[in-house]
């Protein structure tokens, strides 16, 4: 594992959250008045399209793959606003804001370009693939007076706020360590519901953040994306997909397993890890600071990808002193395959995902609060 790349990417996994603006009064807004364009129509892009089509005004879609693009356009009932190049979408004056749901290596460039084009932005985590690009994103947002929101979904609901208040109010004493973990090499993010150990089964309800393939009407969009030879699948603009990566020969593994390549995705730590670590960072109020020491050990023996499949990371913080730990894989707790555990001087809280399977079709995540 390349140490320099690892440090750059894990810094982003932990520090992606400062962009986030939590709107706890969303019910008072008028999302239908905002004209939205969606860039990237893979898993999360289709999820956003399905949900936003019901609550807001989707006026444009964009993808470098014709199959996904035309399926999405049909789902959104769009005759116009169908773009193969995101720059053309950004030039459309009918678009007020964009959702960026591309592979990670495009996040920074598209966010900066969107700000320069006068669009507000929601971009998926991690915000960027390196701290330098992250800083440029912040500068572009401030320079153009744009709203830029990073999709740290675990923070963006009332239940997360209640769980945060519970922990910040010293219900388990001084927090000494937080462990974030997954048990399997899989994706899919869900959120949680806590149970207060003092009063019994009080539930803090959170909406599920399921993967986009739950939208059945869009679920067939990937059927024609696979190429069995060394050539890209029909309808895919491979050069445009690569974008900032420069010229490279087509690789089915890079295209379909991009999450596990450092230049594109950064592994599970920068995928599901950015959600879990971002939630821990918010609760512990370290978004604007950072650790004093990082230790990591992992590897990807026998894998064609660079990102580790076995990985343990410890971030040490001071003033106050506490540790943040990432463990991949971790032993399963009951039927739960990922989550956070907060250890305090007077007990602990488990924030655990409840699921019977991994992958794109996920069910729910629960936060179980208990003392030990």
How far apart CA 145 and CA 122 sit, in angstroms, is 15
Same domain, 175 and 311: yes
Domain boundary among 155, 174, 189: 155
Per-residue model confidence (pLDDT) at position 298: 86
In a domain, 252, yes or no: no
Q: Are strands 310-317 and 293-299 parallel, antiparallel or unpaired?
A: antiparallel
Phi, psi of 85 (to 5 degrees): -125, 125
Q: What is the pTM of this model?
A: 0.76
In a domain, 221, yes or no: no
Same domain, 63 and 190: no
Same domain, 135 and 185: no
Same domain, 47 and 176: no
Same domain, 308 and 322: yes
CATH number at residue 184: 3.30.360
In a domain, 257, yes or no: no
Domain boundary among 135, 155, 175: 155
CATH number at residue 93: 3.40.50.720
pLDDT digit of tens for each residue in the chain (372 aa)? 555 554 455 444 544 444 433 333 444 445 568 899 999 999 899 999 998 988 889 999 999 999 999 999 999 999 899 999 999 999 999 999 999 999 999 999 999 999 999 999 999 999 998 889 999 999 999 999 999 999 877 776 665 677 788 889 988 899 999 999 888 654 433 322 333 333 333 222 223 333 333 333 444 445 445 555 578 888 999 999 999 999 999 988 889 889 888 889 888 888 888 888 988 999 999 988 889 999 999 887 777 778 888 899 999 999 999 999 999 888 776 666 778 888 999 888 877 654 433 333 333 344 444 444
Same domain, 87 and 14: yes
Domain boundary among 155, 190, 223: 155
Per-residue model confidence (pLDDT) at position 196: 35
Same domain, 76 and 151: yes
Same domain, 167 and 283: yes
In a domain, 236, yes or no: no
Q: What range does the domain containing 343 cover?
A: 158-213+264-370
How many domains is the chain built from? 2
In a domain, 342, yes or no: yes
Q: Around 72, how many Cα atoms within 13 Å sit in the side-chain half-sphere?
A: 36
How far apart CA 218 and CA 139 sit, in angstroms, is 36
> Burial, 317: exposed, middle or buried (Cβ in 10 Å; 0-12, 13-18, 19+)?
middle
Same domain, 138 and 183: no
Same domain, 151 and 163: no
In a domain, 289, yes or no: yes
Same domain, 206 and 122: no
Collapsing DSSP states into helix, strand and coil, what is residue 122? strand
Scanning the chain, the segments in alpha helix (DSSP H) are 3-15, 43-55, 66-76, 86-90, 107-116, 131-143, 158-168, 238-242, 252-256, 267-270, 272-283
In a domain, 283, yes or no: yes
Same domain, 276 and 350: yes
In a domain, 235, yes or no: no
Per-residue model confidence (pLDDT) at position 30: 59
Per-residue model confidence (pLDDT) at position 300: 73
Q: Are strands 97-100 and 120-123 parallel, antiparallel or unpaired?
A: parallel
């Amino acid at each position: 594992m390349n140490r320099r790349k690892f440090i750059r990417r894990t810094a982003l996994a932990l520090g992606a959250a400062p962009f986030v603006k939590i709107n706890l009064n969303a019910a008072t807004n008028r999302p239908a008045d905002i004209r939205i364009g969606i860039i990237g129509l893979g898993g999360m892009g289709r999820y956003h399209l399905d949900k936003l089509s019901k609550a807001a005004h989707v006026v444009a879609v964009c993808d470098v793959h014709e199959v996904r693009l035309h399926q999405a356009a049909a789902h959104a009932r769009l005759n116009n606003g169908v773009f193969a190049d995101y720059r053309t979408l950004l030039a459309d004056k009918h678009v007020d804001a964009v959702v960026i749901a591309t592979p990670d290596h495009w996040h920074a460039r598209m966010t900066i370009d969107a700000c320069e084009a006068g669009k507000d932005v929601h971009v998926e985590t991690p915000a960027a693939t390196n701290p330098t690009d992250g800083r440029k994103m912040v500068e572009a947002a401030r320079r153009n007076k744009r709203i830029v929101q990073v999709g740290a979904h675990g923070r963006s609901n009332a239940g997360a706020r209640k769980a945060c208040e519970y922990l910040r109010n010293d219900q388990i004493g001084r927090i000494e360590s937080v462990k974030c973990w997954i048990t399997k090499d899989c994706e899919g993010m869900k959120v949680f519901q806590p149970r207060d150990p003092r009063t019994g089964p009080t539930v803090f309800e959170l909406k599920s953040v399921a993967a986009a393939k739950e939208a059945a009407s869009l679920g067939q969009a990937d059927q024609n994306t696979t190429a069995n030879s060394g050539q890209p699948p029909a309808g895919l603009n491979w050069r445009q997909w690569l974008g900032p990566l420069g010229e490279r020969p087509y690789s089915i593994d890079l295209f379909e397993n991009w999450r596990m390549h450092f230049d594109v995705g950064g592994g599970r730590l920068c995928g599901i890890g950015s959600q879990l670590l971002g939630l821990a960072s918010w609760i512990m109020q370290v978004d604007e600071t950072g650790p004093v020491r990082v230790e990591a050990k992992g590897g990807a023996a026998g894998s064609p990808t660079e990102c580790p499949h076995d990985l343990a990371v410890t971030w040490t913080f001071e003033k106050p002193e506490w540790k943040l730990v990432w463990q991949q894989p971790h032993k399963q707790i009951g039927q739960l395959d990922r989550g956070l555990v907060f250890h305090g001087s007077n007990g602990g809280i488990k924030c655990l995902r409840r699921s019977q399977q991994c992958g794109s079709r996920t069910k729910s995540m629960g936060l179980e609060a208990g003392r030990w």
